[in-house]
Amino acid sequence: MSHPILACRDVCKLYGPRAERFVRDGKLAAEPSALAEAGVTAATLNVSLEIERGETFVIMGLSGSGKSTLVRILSGLTPPTAGVVLFEDRDLASMSEHELIQIRRHQMGMVFQHFALLPHLTVLGNVAFPLEIQGRPRTEREARAREMITLVGLDGREGRFPRELSGGQQQRVGIARSLAAGPDLWFLDEPFSALDPLIRREMQDEVLRLQGLLKKTIVFITHDFDEATRIADRIVIMKDGRVEQVGSAEELVLKPATDYVRAFTRDAPRAKILTARAVLAPAPPGGDFAGEVAATARIASFARDVERATKPFAVTEGGKLLGVVDRLAMIDVLVGHADRAA
């Protein structure tokens, strides 16, 4: 990979009275049982990741797998016990507290599960707050806040207080606030977990829409694989503080690296995740096709047409014929016999 905006190498965060000593004694490479014996909890263990500019990177794992700890480390809120974090190629550990604060204020935006809005401030006041902290003049910060409020569809509600808004609206305020300073890196830590499923879906669409407009680098945390597959370019699956696998949703479903990832992705909605590329079969001679689908099209978008057709569909990329998708290949992959997958 070329030039990640954010990278970490062998990042560990250990807790317990003997954590520092454990690292000093060079025991990190020891068996996991050594941690328990020393009474040390590893919230993250040897995590190495590279996050590319402009991608939506999802950190996934069950409760206690180390997601929040990792995000706190990546955003410079918590120093790792061992390992390195690089933001735009600069080691966070080499920065002063003042520099870290400046980076967090100007280049990073954060959205949390519990909206963390200031109850005594209006919507306008909440969204403008990060700019007030930066010391920007009132007219400038209010103009920018109004822009953000429009962006998230809350026009007309500038004067309301958080208690006068629904959960979804409050989270829109949180989103507007996190974008007010124009961050390069946008962290969203389980932002929609407190919302009911319909609103949650709506908010996922909102993130997709905003990402289409703003093209930020997004680091999104969730414990919900469905949510991850809807918004992610790449997903890291964490377990017990370690990385199990990093890949696109399609890669995780088709080529799980561990039994854990296999179990995690077993019930994933394959038709919504896998693309025509995954069901590619060689094109028969003659080129008699029922139609054409793009290699990147999700199976769900063409399954019905392929199912009904008597002839295969051509799969193309940039005008080039890659192969075909036919009924049998599609059903094979959808029900889990991925042997023919690319």
Ligand X SMILES: Nc1ncnc2c1ncn2[C@@H]1O[C@H](COP(=O)(O)OP(=O)(O)OP(=O)(O)O)[C@@H](O)[C@H]1O
What does the binding site for ligand X look like in residue numbers (CB under 6 A)?
15, 41, 43, 61, 63-69, 223
Q: Say if CB 211 and CB 244 are below 8 A apart.
A: no
Tokens found for residue 338: 């991925």
Q: Say if CB 326 and CB 312 are below 8 A apart.
A: yes
Q: What is the distance between the alpha carbons of residues 148 and 128, in angstroms, rounded to a whole number?
A: 9
Q: How far is the CB of 26 from ligand X (least distance, A)?
A: 22
Residue (of 201, 199, 174) closest to 189 by Cα position: 174
Nearer to ligand X, 55 or 190 (CB): 190
Q: How far is the CB of 112 from ligand X (least distance, A)?
A: 11
Q: How far is the CB of 7 from ligand X (least distance, A)?
A: 19
Q: How far is the CB of 65 from ligand X (least distance, A)?
A: 4
Nearer to ligand X, 65 or 275 (CB): 65
Tokens found for residue 136: 């920007």
Q: How far is the CB of 61 from ligand X (least distance, A)?
A: 5
Task: Name beta bridge partners: 315.
Answer: 293, 323
Rounded to 5°, angle at Cα 267 from 54 and 57: 10
Nearer to ligand X, 63 or 310 (CB): 63
Q: 16: how many CB neighbours lie within 10 A of its CB?
A: 14
Q: How many CA atoms lie within 13 A of 64 on its CB side?
A: 2
Q: What is the distance between the alpha carbons of residues 38 and 31, in angstroms, rounded to a whole number?
A: 12
Q: Say if CB 124 and CB 157 are below 8 A apart.
A: no
Q: How far is the CB of 113 from ligand X (least distance, A)?
A: 9
Nearer to ligand X, 179 or 236 (CB): 236
Nearer to ligand X, 41 or 296 (CB): 41
Nearer to ligand X, 179 or 231 (CB): 231
Q: Is 317 left (phi over 0), alpha (psi -120 to 50) or beta?
A: beta
Q: What is the distance between the alpha carbons of residues 130 and 109, in angstroms, rounded to a whole number?
A: 10
* Location of structure tokens 């008597």: 310
Tokens found for residue 314: 């051509």
Nearer to ligand X, 13 or 234 (CB): 13
Nearer to ligand X, 69 or 265 (CB): 69
Nearer to ligand X, 63 or 96 (CB): 63
Q: How far is the CB of 163 from ligand X (least distance, A)?
A: 25
Tokens found for residue 277: 């590329």
Q: What is the DSSP string of 131-189?
A: HHHTT--HHHHHHHHHHHHHHTT-TT-TT--GGGS-HHHHHHHHHHHHHHT--SEEEEE
Q: How far is the CB of 67 from ligand X (least distance, A)?
A: 4
Q: How far is the CB of 293 from ligand X (least distance, A)?
A: 38
